[in-house]
Structure 1
Amino acid sequence: MADSPELATKALESDAQDDNTAAQTSGIPGDSKPDQGAGSMGEHCVTDRPAPAGQTPTGEVAKYGEVEVYITKPADYPHQPSKLLLLLTGGTGIHSVNNQLQADRYAAEGFLVAMPDQFAGDPAPTSTTTLAADENMSVLEQVKLGMVNVAKSFTIDMWLARHTPEKVLPVLERVIVAVKEEFADAVESGGGVYAVGYCFGAKYVLLLGGEGSQDANAAKTAAAEEEGMVAHGPQIKVGAIAHGTQVTRDDIAGNRVPLTIVAVENDSLFPEDVLESGRQALKEQNVELEVQTYPKVPHGFAVLGDYDDTSIVEAQKEAFQQMLAWLKSH
């Protein structure tokens, strides 16, 4: 999304015209549909579910490449070999307890996890409640609720305008350079950098797995820039993504590393036509791909957090195992 006040204003006007009464619910417990014109970000992309009771993150936040990074390690590291995993979050960012606990789960499975602050200290605006219309609301109450949702959508659009690939990729590239140097043993053990991405972060796993990103070796990049050239090539070895947002067909088609996708049935934020056209492109390129679609779950379900619906909880566990198995098999 271009950094354009005019575009954001049009989005606000569109919201007011399309839905000035109330947010809609999807019929899935704990889910909400994204507001019209919300910049391809839903409630689950910017709001954490309740954290699992009795769990405390075990990692720590440090700076790598002048960027805050949550680092969490296997209990037996460095005495036992580990693999370096880059974890890219949704809009809630690295200080979210749920995201930290999710990183810890990968660490418990033998990965040294680096979870960078993609947003430079500016995580997405959050909402603590799902705003939905009640059939008993008066017309005035519904109009007021609609105005709140329009304002929220406008705020998200403005946030997205501050976090485009042109802004986010250089941040990630600095982190990759720094953590590869700091944890060279883990990079060597895994034969490269592994990556997982949820919601907002899924798009950037795809971009880092493509041929158009800068080489993560600082010396090579500096030399290339001095010569007026930019080195190209995937910066990761393998990728795993869940319910991406703002993902395009070209993002998927440009990926060149083995990839597994956790998809949600009837997901307006990651439509089937985008997924299918990307799938066909990767097939033509002979890129290894696995896709599993989960029915009757909300967008964002694979991000750690409690749900009252046990079927969503089980699907969340299954999605984690899907992504973990893919990483371990590569």
Structure 2
Amino acid sequence: MASHPPDCCCTKLQCARLNNGYRGTPSGTDLVINESIQGYLARPKDPDRRHSAIVYLPDIFGIWQNSKLMADAFASHGYTCLVLDLFNGDSVSLNMPHDFDIMGWFAHGSDGKNPHTSQEIDPIVIAGIKYLQAQGATQLAAVGYCIGAKYVIRHYRSGIDCGFIAHPSFVETTELAAITGPLSIAVAEMDDIFTPEKRHESEAILSEIKQPYQINLLSGVGHGFAVRCDLNDTSQRFAKDQAFNQAVAWFDRYILD
């Protein structure tokens, strides 16, 4: 694999911080795609920029305060941004127990009847891409965090032109080798999932396939920093902001240029 599967750090590392969502009031719109897929849509003020869109593939916490505000932030930079509920209404609770069985949740869902494997998630991502295209998007970027990163990598084949991922998990080497466009990665120094070994393995793959790529390593932060850092910690906030700015700069280069 190009990154390890999700583990305890996905749910435990920053558990205490999850009760403190990013400050602000989301300004986008909740919506439903194909009568079943929940989403959150943030639009830029400039209508001339609405042909450039981002599909936002979240981590296990799905659509919540932080992901909505981040979508709003992408919209403030001129990109229509759609956050998708990848988990069929079964995102992990912000107050999950410390012994939460993340692999059981992926395999079976919270009730044992709602799995979150590629078989279930791929159609959701494709539906989101088609929705944005139907809304007039002709240039499509994608952002993915943790498990969401896997589906950015998988869906260049479905119409993604350019991708940004942070602290990825569950990415297979064959998936990474098959991307067909530019990819930027923000990496946490202290990450048991995207380890230095996996980072170097990914670098080798990206160098071999000759797609434009960028890998930025942020010191002093752990898995999840790009979407759920402690904003009261200046080092973490700086790293989170750097990852966001990295994504915007990458998209400005390869989507708008």
TM range (shorter): 0.7 to 0.9
Provide the secondary structure at the position in 2 that maps to 1:91. coil
Query: Is the Cα–Cα contact under 8 Å of residues 74 and 107 in structure 1 kept in the other structure?
Result: yes
Match of 1:282 in 2: 206
TM-fit CA distance, 1:81 = 4.5
CA gap of 1:118–1:44, structure 2 versus 1, over 3 A, is farther
CA gap of 1:250–1:274, structure 2 versus 1, over 3 A, is farther
Q: Does 1:112 align with 2:58?
A: no
Match of 1:85 in 2: 54
CA gap of 1:303–1:43, structure 2 versus 1, over 3 A, is same
TM-fit CA distance, 1:253 = 2.1
Q: Find the aligned partners of 1:259 and 1:234 in 2 and give their Cα distance.
A: 15
From 225, 239, 258, the equivalent of 2:182 is: 258
TM-fit CA distance, 1:176 = 1.6
Q: Deviations over 1:195-230 (max 9, x none)?
A: 011112111101112xxxxxxxxxxxxxxxxxxxxx
Query: Is the Cα–Cα contact under 8 Å of residues 167 and 188 in structure 2 kept in the other structure?
Result: yes
Q: Deviations over 1:44-91 (max 9, x none)?
A: 6887351233x1000111112231110110123x25554111011111
TM-fit CA distance, 1:266 = 3.7
Q: Find the aligned partners of 2:40 and 2:116 in 1 and give their Cα distance.
A: 19
Query: Is the Cα–Cα contact under 8 Å of residues 199 and 242 in structure 1 kept in the other structure?
Result: yes
Q: Does 1:48 align with 2:18?
A: yes
Query: Is the Cα–Cα contact under 8 Å of residues 7 and 193 in structure 2 kept in the other structure?
Result: no
Q: Deviations over 1:268-325 (max 9, x none)?
A: 1112222222221221111111000111112111115543321111111111111110
Provide the secondary structure at the position in 2 that maps to 1:176. helix
Q: Does 1:180 align with 2:133?
A: yes
Letter in 1 for 2:77: E
Q: Does 1:205 align with 2:152?
A: yes
Structure 1 stretches of 5 or more lacking a match?
1-36, 129-147, 210-232
Match of 2:247 in 1: 323
Question: How do 1:1-330 residues align onto structure 2 when only pairs under 5 Å count?
Answer: 38=7, 41-43=10-12, 48=18, 50-53=20-23, 55-66=24-35, 67-76=37-46, 78=47, 80-94=49-63, 96-127=64-95, 149=98, 151-152=99-100, 154=101, 156-161=102-107, 162-181=115-134, 183-184=135-136, 187-188=137-138, 190=139, 193-209=140-156, 233-330=157-254
Q: Deviations over 1:160-199 (max 9, x none)?
A: 1121111100111122222311x11xx23x3xx1101111
Letter in 2 for 1:98: N
Which protein is richer in strand relative to its size? 2
TM-score relative to the length of structure 2: 0.85
Query: Is the Cα–Cα contact under 8 Å of residues 42 and 269 in structure 1 kept in the other structure?
Result: no
TM-fit CA distance, 1:245 = 1.9
Structure 2 stretches of 5 or more lacking a match?
1-5, 108-114
Identical-residue share of aligned pairs (%): 29
TM-score relative to the length of structure 1: 0.67
Match of 1:16 in 2: none
CA gap of 1:273–1:251, structure 2 versus 1, over 3 A, is farther
CA gap of 1:65–1:240, structure 2 versus 1, over 3 A, is same
Q: Find the aligned partners of 1:197 and 1:291 in 2 and give their Cα distance.
A: 14
The structure that has the greater radius of gyration is: 1
Count of aligned pairs: 240
